[in-house]
A and B are shown apart, each in its own frame.
Chain A
């Protein structure tokens, strides 16, 4: 299990890419004149950039590293189930159009929940959002450290720290404009790199050899009646839907995209994203044929690539996953900072804050978020998938409050609050008593039952004009 890259080479790649991204972020950040420029890239992002940023943000370390992990653990259904995460992007397409028309001057998903359901639901929603955001941030930071460690042998904590510093650096300097622009370049690198890795795996191992080794040594991975993976299929789909529907990462983009752009961008990005986890996950099936010793399931992707392609492949994988990591980490930092600035600082601490004060506060928040994420990542407490799916219990409970709240005036505010609480609690119970692969499913079901029942009993009536007329 010798690393495929020398530590010095890995450091050189990290420093070169780090300098490029930070320099680019600084250059783009010079055009930011207002809070709207900094937080929402001027609210006029075009279709090409919009599609690229939606796709690149959804191609995360969780796609390039967790897709192989889930394939290694749950087989072909794990791979297919992960790709169903694309459904979240596709279904968000009509929501993005609705969001932009309902809240043309909105900043965050919290704005909508506060105006639609009131303060109780807003605070519950913020707790869910922050649990998810920190879970995702930590999983991204951890993935950075794991990647660097698996490919070069550099200590996990050093790799994780360097990647966090780079992403915090260019997000801080450039705001959402830098995030979106770097996402565009990172998308091109990711798509080309993942395709090249998969092609090289097939070329080196061969489909027949790969298939016979899995059948002989890991037979359940190709079994279409693998119980845990059957349970996982819709869980992952609903988890992805919950992530996208509630998270400010996607709402802030809906606000930032130009008029009529959001719906098309999310639809195209969803279909373009769909094959990526299958291609990335597929390479994990080569592990048995290669007789690889896999210490942790989330290391299987880089290990296979490194084993097959040596140093060249190692560099390729390193660059691809670094790009995937950066494209998500920056988006999440920016969106979570927006949520903290707008909903916590302006919403709770300093309601009379000016836009200029919010812009300064936003920068401090990005720095603080980076430091907090670093602290949480430092002790490597769990695997990526376990950490990620823990948050599934929270986010899936927010699906119905968002969907019903956007379209139906009779949706009850109390029902939304209770739905989020009951869904999260029972989802967590399922996570601990059954497994990570059912948490989102249970949460979503309980939330639906609660919100429908309470709304039917209370018969509330909301006027959507209040949203359109409000100033955020």
Chain B
């Protein structure tokens, strides 16, 4: 299906039948969620126009399956290139992995770490840019988190570096002067 095409109800019905995530829904819950009821062809619950909008929404922006735990971070913008990602540790999920990518579709610069048994991950050493993270396991993926890395400017860094160098020089000079004045028998 090309982007922007409006799917019909039969197509969605086919998606439901083909989708491995949804195919076992009747066994998982006795009453399907509301959005699935709305999608049933000829459902009396909602008018046809609303049904079409919902169909469009579902087809163009399918919601992720939140099987993996929700991903959080201690900050959204990092000035140092390091940050901590955290999530609630699942009871047991040996397939849990953390993915990093350079785009929200997770197609470029993808890296992956096994994080089974962990509940946080510290990333570091990144260049300026936007980095996308999500947790995945055999049942699906978590929310996608975007962290912006924006390093301090070199001008600001140089200012602090210079201040430190000046203070250190004054300290050494003071100690030398103090020692010299003692050798001369004069307390400044």
Known contacts A214-B125, A294-B122; A448/B167 CB under 8 A: yes
> Separation in Å of the B144 CB from the closest CB of chain A?
19
| Known interface pairs A238-B168, A441-B167; A228-B151 also in contact (CB < 8 Å) | yes
B174 contact set on A, CB distance < 8 A = 403-404, 407
**Which residues of chain B are within 8 angstroms of A378 by Cβ–Cβ distance?**
none
Residues from chain B with Cβ under 8 Å of A294 in the complex: 121-122
Task: Report whether B157 and A234 are in contact in the complex, using a CB–CB cutoff of 8 Å.
Answer: no
Report whether B167 and A445 are in contact in the complex, using a CB–CB cutoff of 8 Å: yes
Q: Is the CB of B157 within 8 A of A464?
A: no
Q: Closest approach, in angstroms, between the C-beta of A172 and any C-beta of chain B?
A: 37
Judged by a CB distance under 8 angstroms, whether A12 is at the interface is: no
A407 to B167, CA, bound (A): 18
A94 with B179: CB separation less than 8 A: yes
Is A438 an interface residue, CB under 8 A from the partner? yes
Chain A residues 283 to 338 lying within 8 A of chain B, measured CB to CB, are 288, 291, 293-297, 300
Given contacts A293-B121, A295-B119, contact A234 B175 (CB under 8 A): no
CB-based contact A74/B187 at 8 Å: no
**A residues near B158, Cβ cutoff 8 Å:** 230
Flag if A291 contacts B160 (CB, 8 Å). no
- CB–CB B157/A228 < 8 A: yes
Given A218-B125, A220-B126, the answer on whether A241 and B163 have CB atoms closer than 8 Å is no
Measured between beta carbons, the chain A residues less than 8 angstroms from B53 are none
Chain B: how many interface residues by the 8 Å CB criterion?
Answer: 47
Contact with A along B136-167 (1 / 0, CB 8 A): 00000000000000011110111011011101
Q: Is B80 engaged at the interface, CB distance under 8 Å to the other chain?
A: yes
Q: Is B73 interfacial (CB 8 A cutoff)?
A: no
Compute how far the CA of A467 lies from the CA of B122 in the bound complex, rounded to whole angstroms.
51
* Chain A interface, DSSP helix/strand/loop, else mixed: helix
Residues of A within 8 Å of B154, CB to CB, are 225, 227, 230
Cβ distance A335 to chain B, nearest Cβ, rounded Å: 23
The reply to whether B124 and A241 form a contact with Cβ atoms under 8 Å apart is no
From A219, A300, A437, A464, contact of B127 by CB (8 A)? A219
Question: B115 within 8 Å of A by Cβ?
Answer: yes
Interface string of A413-457 (1 = CB under 8 A from B): 000000000000000000000010110010011001000000000
Q: Which residue of chain A lies nearest to B84 when distances are taken between CB atoms in the complex?
A: A296
In the complex the two chains form, is B151's CB within 8 Å of A234's CB?
no
Is residue A221 contacting chain B, with contact meaning CB distance below 8 A? yes
Contact with B along A105-121 (1 / 0, CB 8 A): 00000000000000000
- Residue contact B170 to A297, C-beta cutoff 8 Å: no
B115 near A231: Cβ-Cβ < 8 Å: no
B15 CB–A CB distance under 8 Å: no
Residues of A within 8 A of B168 (CB): 87, 234, 237-238
Which residues on the B side are within 8 Å of A218 (C-beta)?
124-126
Question: Within the assembled complex, what's the spacing in Å between the Cα atoms of A300 and B124?
Answer: 12
- In the assembled complex, the Cα of A295 lies from the Cα of B89 at a distance in Å of 12
The reply on B79 being an interface residue by CB < 8 A is yes
- Report whether B80 and A74 are in contact in the complex, using a CB–CB cutoff of 8 Å: yes
User: A406 at the A/B interface (Cβ < 8 Å)?
Assistant: yes
Residues of B within 8 A of A293 (CB): 98, 113-115, 118, 121
Could you tell me the distance between the alpha carbons of A26 and B82 in the complex, rounded to whole angstroms?
46
Contact A227 B122 (CB under 8 A): no
Measured in the bound complex, the distance between the Cα atoms of B81 and A158 in whole Å is 33
Establish whether residues B151 and A226, one from each chain, have CB atoms under 8 Å apart when the complex forms. yes
- By a CB distance below 8 angstroms, the chain B residues around A412 are none
Q: How far is the CA of A406 from the CA of B179 in the complex (A)?
A: 10
A-side contacts of B160, CB under 8 Å:
230-231, 234-235, 438, 441
Contacts of A227 in B (CB 8 A): 79, 151-154, 156-157
A31 located at the interface, meaning its Cβ lies under 8 Å from any Cβ of chain B in the complex: no
Residue-wise interface mask of A (258-300) relative to B, using a CB-CB cutoff of 8 A (1 in contact, 0 not)? 0000000000000000000000000000001001011111001
- A409 CB → nearest B CB, Å: 5
Task: Tell me the complex Cα distance, A234–B157, Å.
Answer: 11
Residues in B whose Cβ lies below 8 Å from that of A91: 171-172, 175
Chain A: minimal CB distance from B151 (Å): 5
The interface bits of chain A over 209-236 (1 if a CB of B lies within 8 angstroms of the residue's CB, else 0) are 0000010011111000111101101110
In the complex, residue of chain A having the shortest beta-carbon distance to the beta carbon of B78: A228
Write the A231-265 contact mask toward B (1 if CB under 8 angstroms, else 0).
10111011001000000000000000000000000
| B21 close to A (CB within 8 Å) | no
A residues sitting closer than 8 Å to B (CB atoms) are 1, 72-75, 87, 91, 94-95, 98, 214, 217-221, 225-228, 230-231, 233-235, 237-238, 241, 288, 291, 293-297, 300, 399, 403-404, 406-410, 435, 437-438, 441, 444-445, 448, 464
Q: B residues touching A (Cβ–Cβ < 8 Å)?
A: 79-82, 84, 98, 111, 113-122, 124-127, 151-154, 156-158, 160-161, 163-165, 167-168, 170-172, 174-175, 177-179, 181-182, 187-188
7 contacts between A and B (CB under 8 A): A72-B125, A91-B175, A221-B125, A234-B164, A234-B167, A406-B178, A448-B167
Q: Which 9 A-B pairs have the closest CB atoms?
A: A234-B164, A218-B125, A407-B178, A227-B157, A221-B125, A227-B152, A408-B188, A228-B80, A231-B160
- Give 8 new A-B contacts, CB below 8 A, not counting A91-B172, A293-B115: A98-B178, A220-B124, A220-B127, A230-B154, A399-B171, A403-B178, A404-B174, A441-B164
